[in-house]
Amino acid sequence: DDDAPRAHGYRDENARTPISDDELTWGRRGAGGMRSTVRDLYRWELALRNDAVLSAAARDKMFTAYHGDEGYGWHVATTNHGTPFHHRGCGSPGFEGQLARYPEDGITVILLCNGGRGWRRKVWAGIQERLAPGP
């Protein structure tokens, strides 16, 4: 819906300094035009749990690490307890996000923010420690 409310990106975490269109270089302008919600991303993650979008064989390929921890579009890792988790983070001036899935535990974590840079990694590290603490 083109009339739906949209978040505007801010350079600082207090939402005082908006990101201007001039700051969105050609490589960021496309991503800056994307819109999503936590609900949209959760619906996408739910669709990845069954054959609604991809076959089991395609999902196995997507969630297999081929180069370091990189699968097809996802980081593929194992928790300290030996269970798999898949995650992907993103960021552009004024916007950051993180989606993590712990398929064997039935846990999904989705973070979206239109504040300043750097919060995602700090918050993500705290959540990850709570979900899969060290031995």
Model pLDDT for residues 83-98, shown as the tens digit of each residue? 898 999 877 767 788 8
Model pLDDT for residues 32-62, shown as the tens digit of each residue? 556 678 899 999 999 999 899 999 999 999 9
Predicted TM-score (pTM) above 0.85? no
Which own/partner pairs from 83-90 qualify as long-range (CB within 8 Å, at least 24 positions apart)? Answer: 83/132, 85/132, 89/120, 89/121, 89/124, 90/31
Least confident of 84-93, 102-111, 118-127: 118-127
